[in-house]
Structure 1
């Protein structure tokens, strides 16, 4: 068994497929997966060359076999997949050792919602159809070169809900240590482990030297084996073709180091050959060095992870309609702008996690919960707590959540645990356990016993004890004054058992005057007793200040750094938070500038219209829209926000422009440009181009999108027709840089040709210079700055 072998030795994966296919004549525009049928003998020979080099795995030539990518193939998808697996099996014949066939699944080729138009369910089906064709014929699945953790989730669920084969997941990280969509290594590990993958790791985009810090970061937190498949260095262009210059001898040094660090599977990606895999085989003989990291309690969004360790974590309580008439009515009326404002204000006030509860009689809780969770994730990056008594609502919320959720809650009733714990296990959720059965026990010892029972039952479902947080339940001092002390005793006892704790703090003061005083005092006593996760109103400045002070006194806030930051000018800070409290109740307080930065599409139309009552359209663009976009760009470049938030703000700005242009004289003339954009001939990957298009349009530029796989002459014809101010060319594949070069050469025949920009995963500044492009745009914001320089 594969998983048993991973406990005993380091295994070796194969190397690049594209490099080998280029050597046998693959040209730009060819569909590599069709070679499974048209060049069977060559495919078998390539697989066999890696086996002869010492590989333990053959990965099938199916990287692009999503229905979306294969839409233009001459062959049926099932035939392509069947032949790919058959070729791998043919290569195994005569090999006298165990060889594993891994079905290779790459990205679909479209952006998932909310960044793109592909729904989670559609992504799931794109993967599931492949799994159905392959599941009975392979030993494992490898989901690789992934840039979106949400797409990873769709792939893992498609596999796990269809078969029980081992799952390897490999993500691609940029030089800044995050994926294209902003996922950091810690979040990647936390989400993928929670979903039940068997191996995780990194491949592509970077060479082994550049991957070292990312590998180190993953190994520091991973509890399952790791795979590493680096490129053969960074690409460059020679004689019109993309090459990788790292030698197999240089690769060997890094392969040895990876194994010594604890990597369990070593292989190669772009540019690597059987010679590289020979070196990987030698490195594998150093033996297994992997040590699983210590288990910690963590919850994640798609780009942010919160770890429960030596710190108080604040869960914002304000997205719960209980006792909030306005929020309740907003949910009934499907006016979700109220919900989004509450989410934003709680994040700004310092919440680490947000509780999400939509339990209002008269609504479809499952449907509304799912919609609200998706919408919140469009505008903030905090992890969310799914709060519902409905298993159906929790199931849907967890399925469509991008991250590793906190689930509120279970209790000690067997039927409740039976309904909720499988959901937590399936989606990797951390679950809150309420210490009650039919009623809340009065004594601390009885509550602790219920906690033990729930943790034991969770283990029976395969949930680690660290993934159960215990709620010892806050009782009201007005009615059960004596039992408040029992809650504190129970907290201390649970903490001594090594488990994390949560409480809803404000319940203690219900029915008594000056509730804030009681809340602050109880919070302090609870934290001293071991409270990790207070569920509170983060807009209560005094309550948040109590946590700041506690962290200083208990040496959790080293050098009082956070305390000083929050309290240095307490009067001003307090006014700001009070202002937040007021603005959550008033739509009119939100500005157009704020709406653009926060990506509030539903509000920006009204706010832009309001601005037109006193200002001219162009003044609004100049004084509000462009400064807001520039702020978003600065936040993106500094790492404060990531691609999902950038696109959300860009789409929001487009709504504002539509409103403003309706009032401009000759609105078509107000757009700047035009700019032609195209993914070059032979390349069907247009995610990067589409991102750049959205962001450019948000700045008011007219973009003429020629699509993907655009012939050279079509680009030239478009240039002659539209007389653009700039042309942007995109390429992802190494084989299509040649097409990019030919396109530029064809355009250069015209003396009046405009500046030409290039971009894409395979591009570098050196390659851009080599093919005589005028500009290289490393990402969307860099391209905006280039266009501003060209056009203004």
Structure 2
């Protein structure tokens, strides 16, 4: 029976922790676990065998950190040996029905533009490991412990491009249901379902009880089989050893509750043992097994926001488009990204839910420009994007590099169009705008347009694309040349809603082309279209008339409880203020909050003409960073925006420094940062560094995989008052504890702050750290306490 067949027929049980068991069997602090595939194959095989004997149906290879960054010379040997150990265990345990999952963990790096790892390089790293594992005989791919949706996408694409095995993925959420880089359960689920993984779920970071609300939400929104591999509760340190607080019986009781939600694959992560799995199998194997139910949802998402189409009408901002916009054309030709990004931010401020991105212009390299604009926008806004192009190369470039599940504008009923677009949607995921036209042109009747919509639905289904991921453009044609065209469009909207139960979209302003005072026609037609079932509208959200129409419709159709949105927009105002046009000068604080580097530098230079440099820092720069930091802590600002704001502040600081040349400047103090020995994951450390530097602290970054002696020596030689230590993996926390012990001996006055996915406040206290930082802003607060 193939793995996919088995997963569809019964609940399967995964194995549990590997690293924590290897530590008990002699894995030294800082020693790479994957090297044991070559040096201690019998020990690896024994762990696999123990899990199989405990009832595991799936054993994961000891390849969590196996990629060419960590193993540039012997990756093939390490991965092949890992699969061989699992195969040997399966034979020895007489479990031919068990499956071997090639384990792919994170690279430990943050992807561009937030970090320094190129997206395509990340795809290639995962692809290489997947290819080797498949050749060695793995049955499936399990991507695990992903805390960044962009790296998760790179891993899925890499796995699928490297082999044809089933691909499963689990992510690591915090108790608020957030990924490290701001992703939510809804946004991550939409993206991964769009990428067509075979199952998805959660692992690590939390115990089974803490995972319950996350799994409940996943079950509500996901149509895929769910995987749950929790830790054995929360870690703590006892006599220099990491232990977990949930025993096998307690673990199994919690897992039974999760099984009742319809989880298809259950296992464990850090701290779990064969006994945890044995108890879980006994508690869950006879519970009713149900197939996941198809959720008919139409969802577009960015890395952190999911927009569902089919409830309240969705506004798609139309301003990132050169058609009829001379300034925008000029910005494209001159590659003035900040003008383009500010167009997006202005539309966000004025109520857009999704941003249309069209960069097609004669003489421009559209694929390259699409890449720059899509990645640039995603670094300053969390709004989902609609990739709008007729250039299929640009379309694929934008879809591939997009961090989420985009809208795609568009496909038509023409055979050539569908053959070009649907394979891209099948591979990358997306909600597609289907134009109700074909080789014969645009039908004059609603009946003709509905017939094309049906054909688009049917062809999409043949490519494995659900009609839920199709939104039909009923086509708004100008009434100046055909006075009955609006009526045809409105009838088409009604019929698609009532007869096909489909979703619709319109480029609303097309209706008024060639007429004076176009906003009058546009706004009234918009209201009529909404009344007739319009799901999404491509409009200018900066236009007051359009937004009045939208908000009034919501209030009148009982989609704005207590008219709260209407009142928030217009209460107490004699008139709505005109939106600030893109390209207009912005206050310095706003440029920092929006992450606009060039604008920040320019605004700082202008302020310095009237204010002293330190006054600019203290009254403008630091307060803006504080506002962004508070937003991050509240969950209203996400990591990409946090980092881009820091970059904008850095640009402003550079202008201030130039103005202060020759003057004595205040030094707040020096902080050492390091990822501890044995750990190559420096995502968190690098984020912390950026923020600390922007708050005026000098940072000595010792890098990753740093021995305790090196950290202590640097602290001694530089007399630092604060050391920050980072670790992602349970197996390397022992190195963190060893570093702290040595610092206490030789630098007793130095304060220590620790952070990382596997840590908790209680664990930090148990290893004698002074502070626990759950995120980058918390580290800044620690620095302020210690250094001022």
Distance in 2 between residues matched to 1:556 and 1:91, nearest whole Å:
59
Distance in 2 between residues matched to 1:699 and 1:571, nearest whole Å:
41
Partner in structure 2 of residue 98 of structure 1: 97
CA contact (8 A) 1:145 1:204 kept: yes
Partner in structure 1 of residue 289 of structure 2: 288
Q: Aligned-pair distance for 1:162?
A: 2.7
Q: 1:380 to 1:245 in 2, by over 3 A?
A: same
Partner in structure 1 of residue 301 of structure 2: 300
Distance in 1 between residues matched to 2:95 and 2:681, nearest whole Å:
40
CA contact (8 A) 2:20 2:731 kept: no
Q: 1:751 to 1:724 in 2, by over 3 A?
A: closer
Distance in 2 between residues matched to 1:558 and 1:261, nearest whole Å:
31
Alignment partner for residue 473 of structure 1, among 469, 472, 475?
A: 475
> Gapped runs of 5+ residues in structure 1?
none
Secondary structure of the 1:542 match is helix
Alignment partner for residue 701 of structure 2, among 701, 705, 708?
A: 705
Secondary structure of the 1:580 match is coil
Q: 1:157 to 1:750 in 2, by over 3 A?
A: closer
Alignment of 1:626-645 (within 5 A): 626-645=622-641
Distance in 1 between residues matched to 2:747 and 2:114, nearest whole Å:
38
Secondary structure of the 1:66 match is coil
Partner in structure 2 of residue 381 of structure 1: 382
Partner in structure 2 of residue 411 of structure 1: 412
> Gapped runs of 5+ residues in structure 2?
none
Partner in structure 2 of residue 505 of structure 1: 508
Q: Tell me, yes or no, if structure 1 residue 571 matches structure 2 residue 579.
A: no
Q: Aligned-pair distance for 1:615?
A: 1.8
Q: Aligned-pair distance for 1:212?
A: 0.3
Partner in structure 2 of residue 44 of structure 1: 45
Distance in 1 between residues matched to 2:681 and 2:320, nearest whole Å:
39
Deviation sequence 1:80-104 (CA, Å, 0-9, x none): 0010000000011141441100000
Q: Aligned-pair distance for 1:568?
A: 1.3
Partner in structure 1 of residue 233 of structure 2: 233
Alignment partner for residue 764 of structure 2, among 763, 768, 772?
A: 768
Partner in structure 1 of residue 714 of structure 2: 718
Deviates more, 1:595-604 or 1:344-353: 595-604
Deviation sequence 1:344-363 (CA, Å, 0-9, x none): 00001010001000011110
Q: TM-score, normalised by structure 1?
A: 0.97
Alignment partner for residue 650 of structure 2, among 627, 641, 654?
A: 654
Distance in 1 between residues matched to 2:170 and 2:521, nearest whole Å:
50
Distance in 2 between residues matched to 1:11 and 1:432, nearest whole Å:
38
Q: 1:630 to 1:436 in 2, by over 3 A?
A: same
Distance in 2 between residues matched to 1:733 and 1:666, nearest whole Å:
46
Alignment partner for residue 517 of structure 1, among 513, 516, 520?
A: 520
Partner in structure 2 of residue 185 of structure 1: 185
Q: Aligned-pair distance for 1:646?
A: 1.0
Deviates more, 1:183-192 or 1:508-517: 508-517
Alignment of 1:198-347 (within 5 A): 198-282=198-282, 283-347=284-348
CA contact (8 A) 1:219 1:293 kept: no
Q: 1:585 to 1:649 in 2, by over 3 A?
A: closer
Alignment of 1:414-433 (within 5 A): 414-433=415-434
Q: Tell me, yes or no, if structure 1 residue 786 matches structure 2 residue 788.
A: no
Q: How many residue pairs are counted as aligned between the two chains?
A: 782
Secondary structure of the 1:343 match is helix
Secondary structure of the 1:93 match is helix
Deviation sequence 1:597-638 (CA, Å, 0-9, x none): 111123322222222222221111101100000000110011
Distance in 2 between residues matched to 1:169 and 1:194, nearest whole Å:
13
Distance in 2 between residues matched to 1:213 and 1:44, nearest whole Å:
35
Distance in 2 between residues matched to 1:685 and 1:161, nearest whole Å:
25
Distance in 1 between residues matched to 2:366 and 2:228, nearest whole Å:
43
Q: TM-score, normalised by structure 2?
A: 0.97
Secondary structure of the 2:214 match is helix
Alignment of 1:575-590 (within 5 A): 575=577, 578-581=578-581, 584-586=582-584, 589-590=585-586
Deviation sequence 1:541-577 (CA, Å, 0-9, x none): 22112111111221222322222222213436x11xx
Deviation sequence 1:658-679 (CA, Å, 0-9, x none): 2211222457844421111122
Distance in 2 between residues matched to 1:606 and 1:441, nearest whole Å:
52
Distance in 2 between residues matched to 1:721 and 1:6, nearest whole Å:
58
Deviates more, 1:607-616 or 1:188-197: 607-616
Distance in 2 between residues matched to 1:223 and 1:103, nearest whole Å:
24
CA contact (8 A) 1:727 1:757 kept: yes
Deviation sequence 1:195-222 (CA, Å, 0-9, x none): 0100100000000010000000001111
Q: Aligned-pair distance for 1:751?
A: 6.6
CA contact (8 A) 1:263 1:290 kept: no
Q: Aligned-pair distance for 1:300?
A: 0.5
Distance in 2 between residues matched to 1:13 and 1:471, nearest whole Å:
45
Partner in structure 1 of residue 559 of structure 2: 556
CA contact (8 A) 1:68 1:109 kept: no
CA contact (8 A) 1:330 1:338 kept: yes
Distance in 2 between residues matched to 1:217 and 1:201, nearest whole Å:
11
Q: Tell me, yes or no, if structure 1 residue 614 matches structure 2 residue 610.
A: yes
Q: 1:512 to 1:772 in 2, by over 3 A?
A: same
Alignment partner for residue 742 of structure 2, among 746, 756, 760?
A: 746
Secondary structure of the 2:420 match is helix
Q: Tell me, yes or no, if structure 1 residue 486 matches structure 2 residue 482.
A: no
Q: Tell me, yes or no, if structure 1 residue 163 matches structure 2 residue 146.
A: no
**RMSD, matched Cα:** 1.5
CA contact (8 A) 1:300 1:383 kept: yes
